[in-house]
């Protein structure tokens, strides 16, 4: 089964782009809501693709701060290839400054490789295989 997580950025397009990773999530206040995680991609020319993530635990701030600074300081002309930056992967934990997601009280670090059949959004976010 495939993950329900989608990205609104065209990863093949050149330049610096900002967007979100979106995961459908229903709750009492919104039957058609979602969890929106900020993402930035920077692509220029040929080269490797590098993924930088922070915020697996929302109470670990150093990586999140460093990646947010990097997002705003690097220009596409400075790289060859593609740089994908997700400063706060576990946005539910980041928003509450906790180790566990506020959506389902799970630890993203221990959720890999994920489960698309799970009712918990952390398991869906951690899905790494089809």
- Indicate whether 10 belongs to any domain: yes
pLDDT digits (tens, 9 = 90+) for 112-130: 888 878 888 888 888 754 4
What's the rounded Cα separation, in Å, for the pair 90 and 92?
A: 5
CATH number of the domain encompassing residue 10: 3.40.630.10
- Indicate whether 45 belongs to any domain: yes
Name the domain count of the chain: 1
Q: Is the pLDDT of residue 95 over 60?
A: yes
What is the per-residue pLDDT for 3?
Answer: 67
- Indicate whether 1 belongs to any domain: no
pLDDT digits (tens, 9 = 90+) for 1-57: 566 788 899 988 999 999 999 888 877 776 678 889 999 999 999 999 999 999 999
Q: How many helices and strands in the chain, by DSSP H and E?
A: 3, 5
- Indicate whether 39 belongs to any domain: yes
The answer to whether the predicted template modeling score (pTM) of the entire model surpasses 0.85 is yes
| Structural domain harbouring 70 | 6-125
Question: What separation in angstroms does the CA of 9 have from each of 16, 55, 84, 86, 96?
Answer: 10, 20, 11, 13, 26
- Indicate whether 49 belongs to any domain: yes
Closest by alpha carbon to 44, among 69, 71, 22, 77? 77
- Indicate whether 35 belongs to any domain: yes
- Indicate whether 11 belongs to any domain: yes
- Cβ proximity of 54 and 71 under 8 Å: no
- Indicate whether 130 belongs to any domain: no
């Amino acid at each position: 089964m495939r993950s329900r997580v989608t990205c609104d950025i065209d990863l093949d397009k050149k330049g610096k782009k900002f967007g979100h990773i979106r995961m459908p999530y229903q709750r009492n206040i919104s039957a058609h809501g979602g969890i929106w995680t900020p993402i930035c991609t920077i692509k220029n020319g040929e080269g490797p693709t590098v993924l930088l993530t922070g915020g697996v635990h929302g109470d670990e701030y150093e990586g999140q701060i460093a990646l947010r600074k990097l997002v705003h300081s690097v220009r596409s002309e400075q790289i060859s290839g593609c740089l994908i930056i997700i400063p706060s992967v576990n946005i539910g934990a980041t928003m509450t400054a906790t180790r566990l997601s506020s959506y389902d009280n799970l630890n993203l670090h221990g959720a890999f490789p994920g489960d698309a059949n799970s009712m918990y959004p952390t398991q869906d976010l951690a899905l790494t295989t089809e």
